[in-house]
């Protein structure tokens, strides 16, 4: 595989390390139960406030039953976690995190943190401008249910919720077990299903209590942001659930509880968890849908610079060429670069990087899925000038390769076999060699017995590299010649091509 272009890297704090909003022996606010393997200590990222925002902190924690060792204070940014501080734990289970214990950090900023114990269990806490000096007391018997918080209303609310959730999880487990083990229509199953609905109503009321009584508290903002919409049941004329509309409503309400102007949410897992689910699961993996909903959430994210930065980079990186597995997915990448990687909006980057990204995106535009595949005229192995548009068959395949590329060498015999099978059915192949050495190219053609049209353009007179974007070789494009040479497939492996041939030839 050869890289054809110089790529510019998007700078963003994104890593794929799972973290959930919970403590041990309970279910998290987002339904995840992490283990110590979920933590990645990244010393390169420091949680520092701006100089004008420097504030002290003092977090005391006593864990009965924990004797000795070190406690680690772990910070969160999106899906990345990093070590903030480490202190000794006394034989009585006491530890204290302060700016004096962490001379390399000026302060800690508002967000979610975890106190990691030697036992690999952890304690979840929230820090705000008003919650910087507080104490916690609990025991190794049950870190959540035994928790006592002093001098922090935010963490009192957090543990009120975590204790409630721990009890609720147990009730849900019992009713779910009853639902599963009893026969449909039985009195026991009906009773369990009714009880489950009551628990769901009770849980919603519990969340709304925080919204009513502490609407501006950081815990409430975090809790509401992590909620999922109520699944509605719109009906079709025949009385069945309209699943298409159901998904549409759920997706469009998915961000309703998020206060995008609260940048503190960026230092919890909630923004990452939601954007990952929204783009990767709730949005149909078709280019037009992805672009629509990428814009939908990105426009909302403009309310806070850090959230905006994260959302933009997350989506762009997910559909970046060479990373996306979605055919045509680079169109989503191009859209993000076009609209949001501008000198005015991309404050995290510099003019050189921005210009490079935009230049690359512009180079990709002519050969995006759905665009018209442009003509190329170059010299074949007999020294004859041959045009791609010379083919009058229903389908043309553009096979761009390098004679020295191992993956191209693997693909060549497969492409020849496809040509022999499909050329009589109306599929022509047009090979373009990216190398400058004609001798090496002709040796390649002869070695693999390529009988379809093969051309070379060492002086780049045809501008094929501008007409068909090449980030790696081999690069394959399928053109529907009956539809103005429309690019209907790209970035395929040879064994994936027949299904597209059949669809086009059958008029699908």
**pTM attached to this predicted model:** 0.82
Of 367, 392, 411, which residue is a domain's last?
Answer: 367
Q: Which residues have C-beta within 8 Å of that of residue 329, sequence separation ≥ 6?
A: 287, 290, 319
In a domain, 333, yes or no: yes
In a domain, 388, yes or no: yes
Pairing of strands 427-433, 472-473: unpaired
- Same domain, yes or no, for 422 and 464? yes
- Same domain, yes or no, for 386 and 472? yes
pLDDT in tens, 458-493: 999 999 999 999 988 999 999 999 999 999 999 888
pLDDT in tens, 187-224: 888 999 999 999 999 999 999 999 999 999 999 999 99
In a domain, 487, yes or no: yes
* Average pLDDT score, the chain: 87
Dihedral in degrees, nearest 10, Cα atoms 208, 198, 277, 48: 40
Pairing of strands 122-127, 133-139: unpaired
Alpha carbons 164 and 492: distance in angstroms, whole number: 51
Among candidates 302, 275, 301, which has minimal Cα distance to 290? 275
**Residue 424 lies in domain:** 377-505
In a domain, 144, yes or no: no
Among candidates 57, 73, 86, 152, which has minimal Cα distance to 115? 73
pLDDT in tens, 11-39: 332 232 222 232 333 323 333 322 222 22
- Same domain, yes or no, for 287 and 345? yes
At residue 346, the 3 state secondary structure works out as coil
Of 367, 395, 415, which residue is a domain's last?
Answer: 367
- Say if residues 149 and 156 touch (Cβ distance below 8 Å): yes
Among candidates 49, 170, 63, which has minimal Cα distance to 121? 63
**CA dist 471 to 6, 40, 319, 407, 453, Å?**
9, 32, 14, 14, 22
Number of domains the chain contains? 2
**CA dist 73 to 52, 124, 135, 143, 294, Å?**
23, 10, 14, 16, 34
What integer is the mean pLDDT of 259-287?
96
**CA dist 174 to 170, 178, 354, Å?**
6, 6, 55
């Amino acid at each position: 595989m050869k890289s054809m272009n110089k790529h510019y890297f998007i700078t963003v704090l994104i890593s794929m390390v799972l973290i959930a909003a919970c403590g041990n022996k309970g279910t998290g606010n987002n339904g995840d139960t992490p283990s110590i393997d979920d933590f990645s200590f990244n010393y390169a990222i420091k949680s520092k406030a701006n100089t004008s925002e420097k504030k002290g902190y003092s977090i005391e924690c006593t864990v009965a039953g924990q004797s000795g060792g070190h406690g680690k204070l772990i910070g969160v940014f999106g899906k990345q976690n990093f070590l903030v501080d480490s202190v000794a734990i006394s034989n009585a289970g006491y530890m204290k995190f302060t700016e004096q214990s962490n001379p390399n950090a000026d302060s800690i900023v508002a967000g979610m943190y975890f106190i990691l114990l030697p036992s690999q269990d952890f304690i979840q806490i929230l820090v705000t401008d008003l919650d910087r000096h507080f104490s916690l007391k609990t025991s190794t018997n049950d870190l959540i249910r035994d928790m006592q918080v002093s001098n922090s209303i935010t963490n009192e609310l957090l543990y009120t919720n975590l204790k409630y959730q721990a009890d609720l999880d147990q009730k849900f487990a019992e009713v779910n077990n009853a639902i599963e083990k009893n026969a449909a229509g039985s009195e026991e199953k009906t009773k369990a299903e009714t009880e489950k609905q009551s628990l769901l109503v009770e849980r919603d009321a519990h969340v709304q209590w925080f919204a009513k009584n502490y609407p501006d508290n950081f815990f409430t903002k975090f809790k509401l942001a992590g909620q999922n919409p109520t699944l509605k049941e719109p009906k079709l004329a025949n009385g069945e659930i309209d699943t298409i509309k159901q998904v549409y409503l759920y997706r469009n309400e998915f961000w309703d509880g998020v206060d995008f102007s609260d940048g503190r949410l960026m230092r919890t897992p909630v923004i990452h968890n939601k954007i990952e689910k929204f783009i990767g699961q709730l949005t149909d993996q078709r280019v037009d849908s992805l672009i629509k909903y990428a814009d939908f959430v990105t426009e909302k994210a403009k309310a806070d610079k850090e959230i905006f930065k994260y959302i933009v980079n997350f989506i762009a990186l997910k559909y970046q060429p060479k990373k996306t597995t979605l055919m045509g997915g680079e169109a989503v990448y191009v859209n993000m670069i076009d609209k949001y990687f501008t000198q005015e909006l991309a404050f995290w980057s510099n003019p050189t990087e921005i210009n490079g990204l935009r230049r690359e995106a512009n180079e990709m535009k002519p050969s995006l899925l759905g665009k018209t595949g442009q003509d190329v005229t170059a010299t074949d192995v007999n020294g004859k000038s041959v045009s791609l548009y010379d083919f009058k068959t229903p389908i043309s395949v553009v096979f761009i390769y390098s004679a020295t590329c191992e993956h191209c060498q693997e693909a060549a015999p497969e492409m020849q076999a496809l040509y022999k099978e499909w050329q009589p059915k109306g599929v022509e192949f047009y090979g373009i060699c990216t190398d400058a050495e004609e001798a090496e190219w002709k040796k390649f053609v002869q070695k693999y017995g390529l009988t379809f049209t093969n051309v070379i353009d060492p002086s780049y007179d045809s501008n094929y590299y501008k007409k068909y974007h090449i980030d790696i070789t081999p690069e394959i494009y399928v053109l529907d010649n009956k539809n103005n040479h429309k690019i209907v497939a790209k970035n395929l492996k040879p064994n994936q091509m027949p299904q597209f041939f059949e669809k086009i030839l059958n008029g699908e």
